[in-house]
Structure 1
Amino acid sequence: MRKLLAATLGVLSAIGGFVDIGDLVAASQAGARFGMAHAWVLLVGVLGICAYAEMAGRIAAVSGRAVFDLVRERLGPRVALLNLVASWLVTVITLAAELGGVALALQLGSGVHYLFWVPVAAVAVWLVLWRLRFELMERIFGLAGLSLLVFAVALFALPTDWAQLGHGMLHISSAGQGWPVYWFVAVALFASTVSPYEVFFFSSGGVEERWSPADLAHARSNVLIGFPVGGFLALSLIAVAAVAYHPGGTSLTTLDQVAGPVASALGGVGLAVAVLAFFAVTFGAALETGLSAAYAVAQYFGWQWGKRVTPREAARFHTVLLISVLLGVLMLMTTIDPVQLTEYMLVLSAVVLPLTYLPILVVANDRNYLGDRVNGRWMNLLGVVFLLLIAVASVAAIPLAIITGMGR
């Protein structure tokens, strides 16, 4: 338990990347339509995000500065501005989707239309970001997100054919829906696991917690515990949807469909825990994306930033935070479907991934910042291979979205 409490920053970061509203939708749709044929995407995502989160945490611990704080200095203001604009827009769209996810979870629990809950969710997110200490925030919502383990429990109560699940993980198949659709879903799921804001939030969180070189082991434990936990939770979503809906090929479009198998297996208690899990993971992801949007802008312009300083001392940081939340609310008040917004967000996220991860790899090899703590040979090899996969996903995202009509 002590190690888990020490790794709650990694757990919260991973929840924002692996099991936010994007992954609740993408992972469940992948399981329903293709069974376990996309499980390998999660494995690749876990390996890659662990590598880059370790770099980001090491940069924060050794230099005392967050990743985006060094991007402008290392790459120059023009390249960094392109990175900032792309990352901030995607992060704000993601924030809107997460607020929509909180509202949908509250609708599922109350029966009241989700649009009523959107401003309520936004105010609650803003109050937590404004008033709650960073360490307390990460522990509450990092641990609350673990309630999604109810999906793993449900697997044992459902009529699960474990041999078939294992076979599905080892055999890639389009399940009769066409390879372009299969690869579109793979790219969307991949983008949901390596969302750009994850590493910005993780490294900024390290600075918030005042990591130093003496905390490198602590930073790595956050990575090696938190992100695999997130990957396991996402894999549970795929598996439950595969058992309940595949091979019928049902297309999941609502959270109540995602929660349906848990309710069937565990009854009302299971449904209540699933609703709590949806609320916890989307609320935690909204906190993460809201902070990430403000972190990026403040770090680029060199403003005072962070929850460790008072709002008065970091007024511009908190102003950007408030504007980002308000923009998210405005997007949702157009009545755009939060699930549809999530799908568009995942495509845009895939497109801008290289702008996020290339600078991290560059800074992690700069001795001016890290001294002898720069990447070793094997970390660089893993980083380069993963960067190539990111580039392929980035190039393929929009053509696949057009060819498949957003995977339909």
Structure 2
Amino acid sequence: MATLVVVGATTMFGLAWLTLLLLPALVVVQILATRVGVLSGRDLQQAVRDGYGRVASVLLLVSVLAVNVATIAADVGAGAAAIGLLVGVESRWLIPAFAAGVLALLLFGKYDEVERVLKVALLGLLAYGAAAVLARPDWLAVARGSLIPSVPFTREHLAGTLAILGTTLTSYMYVWQTVEQVEEPGSRERLKLREFDALVGACLAVVIFWSILIASGATLGARHEHVETAEQAAEALRPLAGPLAGALFSLGLLASAIVAVPVIMATGGYVTASAFGWPRGLSRTPRQAPRFYAVVVAQTVAGVALAATGIGPIRLLFLASLIAGVATPLGLVLLALAAGNPALVGPTPIHLSLRVAGWVIAVVVAAVSAIFLAQQLHLVPGGG
């Protein structure tokens, strides 16, 4: 959400086409992750450790945790800011309370209860579709930006491209997808249903991504406003789209935080516990998996501490997306390798075309990441 707000503010509708192009990429990655989880009976971290050794496992662990703490910090800050906007309370005092509420859900709730909360919270993301319409964009410009690919070689467009890829194809997303297949019984018998679920989820995600970009482009982008905080993002919608759009934006922001934070917290626990062979899982109690939950708590405390520094959650989330864009190619490569390893997924290999598509996505994200880093180091030219 935050990434697309920043991209809309800096490029208007210039990268709307990329949000739509994410659909096939998301479908490929999610189905690959689903099949690896179902056929191997392992989450990705365990599959990497069993198939490629401790070094690869630790590299994946670092690449996930490097993004997690910053993203947790920004998300708890964003969730607190959304509550503050909706009820008129100073948001910084709500950060520990919001983080504690999500942490309590993971510590004391069962896996099916956590999943039920996430599914209900997802409905709040539909607010972005309404916000996009209420923002009254120039629909002809929206059509051009959505249907005609264009990436001007500027710092803003290149950073926006990498951030969108990083926040969408981020490693905790497909690691969590493999975790779900292991946590829920009967996944192998319902593989086709799991894949259909991944397809529907990808379609809904892309619609929401596009809506956020259009809403922010029509408001923040049209007014050439750079946004650092959730308050700025929501308030910027009001002059053009009225108070209802601001409220909808805040509701969507809160929903996205409620959905994201427990997934990120739990994923950090899974990748760490899997890397070292510790008991793990939200289906276990803290007494049964103390080190798993210790990692969950440690990430949360670190995230709250970072959020308390006063860095705007929108800006922090955008920076976390850039870090994810740089880090995620490693996870994508390891996912593609696991998908083609019969020692992990069994004698019936995952279809070659799906694995090739996974490799192509990994190469593309790695190339964008390399160009971005080269530009930051002034090794290649880049405009404004």
2:146 to 169, 172, 175: 169
Higher mean C-alpha displacement, 316-325 vs 343-352: 343-352
Q: Deviations over 1:337-360 (max 9, x none)?
A: 323322331222112112211111
Is 1:119 matched up with 2:120? no
Corresponding position of 2:160: 185
1:395 to 352, 360, 370: 370
Higher mean C-alpha displacement, 392-401 vs 278-287: 392-401
Residues 151, 236 of structure 1: 8 Å contact kept: yes
Instruction: Mark the runs of 5 or more structure 1 residues left unpaired by the alignment.
Output: 1-23
Displacement, 1:217?
A: 1.2
Displacement, 1:102?
A: 1.3
Displacement, 1:268?
A: 4.4
Displacement, 1:208?
A: 1.3
Corresponding position of 1:81: 58
1:70 to 22, 44, 47: 47
2:5 to 7, 28, 41: 28
Q: Distance in 2 between matches of 1:252 and 1:221?
A: 37
Is 1:94 matched up with 2:65? no
Displacement, 1:154?
A: 3.4
Code of the aligned partner of 1:241: S
Is 1:147 matched up with 2:140? no
Q: Distance in 1 between matches of 2:241 and 2:123?
A: 17
2:250 to 262, 275, 281: 275
Q: Deviations over 1:246-269 (max 9, x none)?
A: 444322333234334654577545
Higher mean C-alpha displacement, 158-167 vs 56-65: 158-167
TM-score with structure 1 length normalisation? 0.86
Code of the aligned partner of 1:183: L
CA distance change for structure 1 residues 273 and 45 in 2, over 3 Å: closer, same or farther?
same
Residues 6, 318 of structure 2: 8 Å contact kept: no
Trace 1:257-336 onto structure 2 (pairs within 5 A): 257-260=232-235, 263=238, 267-336=242-311
Higher mean C-alpha displacement, 130-139 vs 376-385: 130-139
Residues 92, 293 of structure 1: 8 Å contact kept: no
Higher mean C-alpha displacement, 356-365 vs 55-64: 55-64
Q: Deviations over 1:23-66 (max 9, x none)?
A: x2221222233222212322333322321221111122122211
Q: Distance in 2 between matches of 1:126 and 1:187?
A: 30
Displacement, 1:300?
A: 0.9
Displacement, 1:369?
A: 2.1
Computed over aligned residues only, the root mean square deviation of the Cα atoms, in angstroms, reads 2.5
TM-score with structure 2 length normalisation? 0.91
Displacement, 1:149?
A: 1.9
Q: Distance in 2 between matches of 1:206 and 1:264?
A: 45
Corresponding position of 1:45: 22
Q: Deviations over 1:145-186 (max 9, x none)?
A: 2322223223434434323311222335578xx623211111
CA distance change for structure 1 residues 275 and 407 in 2, over 3 Å: closer, same or farther?
farther
Q: Distance in 2 between matches of 1:271 and 1:339?
A: 16
Higher mean C-alpha displacement, 204-213 vs 192-201: 204-213
Residues 11, 156 of structure 2: 8 Å contact kept: no
CA distance change for structure 1 residues 267 and 339 in 2, over 3 Å: closer, same or farther?
closer
The percentage of counterpart residues that share the same residue type is 24
Is 1:108 matched up with 2:98? no
Corresponding position of 1:21: none
Q: Distance in 2 between matches of 1:299 and 1:78?
A: 13
Displacement, 1:379?
A: 0.7
Higher mean C-alpha displacement, 349-358 vs 268-277: 268-277
CA distance change for structure 1 residues 57 and 99 in 2, over 3 Å: closer, same or farther?
same
